[in-house]
Chain A
Amino acid sequence: MVVPIFSVVFALLVAALVLVATGHNPISSYRQLFDAAFISTGSLDQTLISATPLAFTGLAAAAAFRMRVFNIGAEGQLYLGTIVAAAAGLYFGGRGHASPGVIALMVIAGAVGGAAWAAIPGILRAFFRTSEILTSLMLNYVAGYLLTYLIFNSESYWRQTKGFNATVFPTGKPLPPNAVWPAWLIHAQGGINVPLGAGVAVLAGVVLWVLYRRTRFGFEVQVLGDSEGAARYAGVRTRRKILSVMAVSGALAGIGGASQVGDFAHALDGDPNGLQKQGYGYSGIVVAALGRYNPFAVLLIAFLIGGLENAGNSLQGANFPSGLVGVIQGIILFSALGGELLVRHRPRVLRRASVAEATPLPGAVQ
Chain B
Amino acid sequence: MNNSLLVVLIASGVAYGTPLLYGALGELLAERSGVLNLGVEGMMLVGAVMGFWTVQKVHAGTVLALIVAVLVAALAGAVMALIHAFLVITLRASQIVSGLALTIFAGAAGLSSYLGSDLNLAANPAAHTFHAFFPSKMQNWPIVGPILFGQSALVYVSWLCVIAVAYYLTRTRPGLSVRAVGESPGAADAMGIDVVKYRYLHTIAGGAFAGLAGATITLSITPQWVDGITGGAGWIAIALVIFAFWRPELCLIGAYFFGALQALAPELQARNISLGPTELWTSSTPYVATVIVLVLVSWRGAARRLGAPASLGIPYVREEA
Chain A interfacial positions (CB closer than 8 Å to B): 18, 22, 65, 70, 72, 120, 124, 128-131, 133-135, 137-139, 141-142, 145-146, 149, 153-154, 279, 282-283, 285-286, 289, 321-327, 329-331, 333-334, 337-338, 340-342
Chain B positions 273-298 with a Cβ under 8 Å from a chain A Cβ? 277, 279-280, 283-284, 287-288, 290-291, 294-295, 298
Contact of A135 with B294 in the complex, beta carbons under 8 Å: yes
Query: Bound state CA distance, A244 and B115, in angstroms?
Result: 41
Contact of A322 with B227 in the complex, beta carbons under 8 Å: yes
Which of chain B's residues have a CB closer than 8 A to the CB of A141? 231-232, 284, 287
* A interface majority secondary structure: helix
Contact of A138 with B291 in the complex, beta carbons under 8 Å: yes
Query: Bound state CA distance, A330 and B116, in angstroms?
Result: 17
> Which of B93, B109, B232, B288 is A326 in contact with, Cβ under 8 Å?
B109
> Which of B101, B108, B300 is A337 in contact with, Cβ under 8 Å?
B101
Query: Bound state CA distance, A321 and B117, in angstroms?
Result: 6
Query: Bound state CA distance, A138 and B116, in angstroms?
Result: 25
Chain B positions 257-287 with a Cβ under 8 Å from a chain A Cβ? 277, 279-280, 283-284, 287
With both beta carbons as reference points, the residue of chain A lying nearest to B114 in the complex is identified as A323
With both beta carbons as reference points, the residue of chain A lying nearest to B282 in the complex is identified as A145
Query: Bound state CA distance, A70 and B105, in angstroms?
Result: 18
> Which of A130, A322, A338 is B87 in contact with, Cβ under 8 Å?
A338
Would you call B110 an interface residue if the criterion is a C-beta within 8 Å of the partner chain's C-beta atoms? yes
Would you call B29 an interface residue if the criterion is a C-beta within 8 Å of the partner chain's C-beta atoms? no
Which of chain B's residues have a CB closer than 8 A to the CB of A333? 97, 100-101, 104-105
* B interface majority secondary structure: helix
Q: Mark B100-128, 1 if CB is under 8 A from A, else 0.
A: 11111111111111111110000000000
Contact of A145 with B117 in the complex, beta carbons under 8 Å: no
Name which of A138, A145, A331, A340 has the most chain B CB atoms within 10 A of its CB: A138
Which of chain B's residues have a CB closer than 8 A to the CB of A142? 284, 287-288
Distance in angstroms from A67 CB to nearest chain B CB is: 13
5 closest cross-chain pairs (CB), A and B = A330-B105, A323-B114, A326-B110, A323-B113, A333-B101
Which of chain A's residues have a CB closer than 8 A to the CB of B231? 141
Given A22-B118, A131-B294, CB of A327 within 8 Å of CB of B279: no
Known contacts A133-B38, A322-B227, A324-B114; can you find 4 more A-B pairs with CB under 8 A?
A128-B295, A145-B280, A283-B104, A322-B114
Which of chain A's residues have a CB closer than 8 A to the CB of B87? 334, 337-338
With both beta carbons as reference points, the residue of chain B lying nearest to A137 in the complex is identified as B235
Which of chain A's residues have a CB closer than 8 A to the CB of B97? 65, 289, 333, 337
Given A130-B294, A338-B91, CB of A70 within 8 Å of CB of B96: yes
Query: Bound state CA distance, A154 and B277, in angstroms?
Result: 8
With both beta carbons as reference points, the residue of chain A lying nearest to B294 in the complex is identified as A130
Which of chain A's residues have a CB closer than 8 A to the CB of B242? 131, 134
Query: Bound state CA distance, A250 and B205, in angstroms?
Result: 36
Inter-chain contact count A-B, CB under 8 Å?
Answer: 154
Which of chain A's residues have a CB closer than 8 A to the CB of B216? none
Contact of B117 with A323 in the complex, beta carbons under 8 Å: yes
Name which of B93, B94, B100 has the most chain A CB atoms within 10 A of its CB: B100
Which of chain A's residues have a CB closer than 8 A to the CB of B147? none
What are 7 residue pairs bridging A and B, where the CB atoms are less than 8 Å apart in the complex?
Answer: A133-B38, A141-B231, A145-B283, A282-B109, A322-B114, A327-B105, A330-B102
Query: Bound state CA distance, A153 and B87, in angstroms?
Result: 44
Contact of B279 with A149 in the complex, beta carbons under 8 Å: yes
Contact of B118 with A329 in the complex, beta carbons under 8 Å: no
Given A153-B277, A322-B227, CB of A134 within 8 Å of CB of B290: yes
Distance in angstroms from B205 CB to nearest chain A CB is: 21
Query: Bound state CA distance, A65 and B100, in angstroms?
Result: 12
Would you call B238 an interface residue if the criterion is a C-beta within 8 Å of the partner chain's C-beta atoms? yes
Chain B positions 287-316 with a Cβ under 8 Å from a chain A Cβ? 287-288, 290-291, 294-295, 298-301
Query: Bound state CA distance, A337 and B294, in angstroms?
Result: 29
Which of chain B's residues have a CB closer than 8 A to the CB of A331? 105
With both beta carbons as reference points, the residue of chain A lying nearest to B236 in the complex is identified as A138
Given A131-B294, A131-B298, CB of A327 within 8 Å of CB of B92: no
Contact of B101 with A334 in the complex, beta carbons under 8 Å: yes
Query: Bound state CA distance, A324 and B38, in angstroms?
Result: 21
Contact of A282 with B104 in the complex, beta carbons under 8 Å: yes
Contact of B280 with A149 in the complex, beta carbons under 8 Å: yes
> Which of B94, B111, B239 is A327 in contact with, Cβ under 8 Å?
B111
Query: Bound state CA distance, A101 and B88, in angstroms?
Result: 49
Distance in angstroms from A325 CB to nearest chain B CB is: 7
Which of chain A's residues have a CB closer than 8 A to the CB of B232? 137-138, 141
Contact of B110 with A323 in the complex, beta carbons under 8 Å: yes
Which of chain A's residues have a CB closer than 8 A to the CB of B177? none
Query: Bound state CA distance, A137 and B288, in angstroms?
Result: 11
Which of chain A's residues have a CB closer than 8 A to the CB of B291? 120, 124, 130, 134-135, 138-139
With both beta carbons as reference points, the residue of chain A lying nearest to B84 in the complex is identified as A334
Which of chain A's residues have a CB closer than 8 A to the CB of B106? 330
Q: Mark B237-252, 1 if CB is under 8 A from A, else 0.
A: 0110010000000000
Contact of B277 with A327 in the complex, beta carbons under 8 Å: no
Query: Bound state CA distance, A138 and B231, in angstroms?
Result: 11
Query: Bound state CA distance, A134 and B231, in angstroms?
Result: 14
